[in-house]
Amino acid sequence: MAAHKIDTVIHNAGIYGPRGVLAGELAEEAWLEVLHVDTVAPLMVVQGLLPQLRQNAAAGHPTAIHFLTSRMGSIADNGSGGNYLYRSAKAGLNAAVRSLALDLAADGIRVQLLHPGWVQTSMGGEQAPLTVQESVAGLLERCAELEMADSGRFVDWSGAEIPW
Ligand SMILES: NC(=O)c1ccc[n+]([C@@H]2O[C@H](COP(=O)([O-])OP(=O)(O)OC[C@H]3O[C@@H](n4cnc5c(N)ncnc54)[C@H](OP(=O)(O)O)[C@@H]3O)[C@@H](O)[C@H]2O)c1
């Protein structure tokens, strides 16, 4: 049976890890779990889907991979410190996905890093300014407008570019 082609992957799953962990309190096991889920797993999932994605792109169909990351993974934007586990995991994801975007350009596969905004989810909490509907509407627009020339960009739900 022929493998199914895949045209779009949106990798959304992520964890924050324990909150409020300060320098002097960092625990290796908890940190490695956040790195595993937020940095390593997204690339492993996509790696498993690459044959189908490449097959789709080779047939001339638009093909894209979108990763949900966070502004907290921006080193340039870090003006408040703390949040070691989550910040480092999303910064690692950003670095790896930037490489992926460059490496998959030859296959014609588009890659994007998306910050959803601060959203009212289990992770974002009730005090977040954005509803899930507002964030997802913007994110879907960003997915739809992604062109090859924009591959590897780090943008938020509204389309604003985020510094690395
Ligand atoms: N909410 C925000 O303000 C905000 C801001 C910036 C970035 N983000 C990013 O946006 C994405 C979605 O976050 P969210 O706010 O929706 O978080 P959430 O409410 O905590 O939901 C996280 C989702 O990830 C899944 N997940 C977590 N660990 C997993 C694992 N090991 N295997 C499979 N699925 C797993 C969860 O599945 P289960 O329900 O089955 O556990 C859940 O569906 C994440 O990548 C997050 O880092 C969110």
On whether residue 162 sits in a domain, the answer given is: no
pLDDT tens for the chain, residues 1 to 164: 455 789 999 999 999 999 999 999 999 999 999 999 999 999 999 999 999 999 999 999 999 999 999 999 999 999 999 999 999 999 999 999 999 999 999 999 999 999 999 999 999 999 999 999 999 999 999 999 999 999 999 999 999 999 99
Pocket test for ligand 1, best of 11, 12, 113 (most atoms within 8 A of CB): 12
CATH code, 50: 3.40.50.720
What's the CA-to-centroid distance between 59 and ligand 1, angstroms? 33
On whether residue 41 sits in a domain, the answer given is: yes
The dihedral sign for the CA sequence 14, 20, 23, 28: negative
Q: Domain limits at 99? A: 26-156
On whether residue 1 sits in a domain, the answer given is: no
Q: Is the whole-model pTM more than 0.75?
A: yes
On whether residue 17 sits in a domain, the answer given is: no
> Looking at residue 2, what is its pLDDT?
56
On whether residue 57 sits in a domain, the answer given is: yes
On whether residue 5 sits in a domain, the answer given is: no
What's the CA-to-centroid distance between 127 and ligand 1, angstroms? 17
d(CA 121, CA 73): 19
On whether residue 123 sits in a domain, the answer given is: yes
Ligand 1 atom with least separation from CA of 118: 3
Q: Which of 142, 86, 141 is nearest to 112 (CA)?
A: 142
> Looking at residue 162, what is its pLDDT?
98
On whether residue 14 sits in a domain, the answer given is: no
What's the CA-to-centroid distance between 68 and ligand 1, angstroms? 9
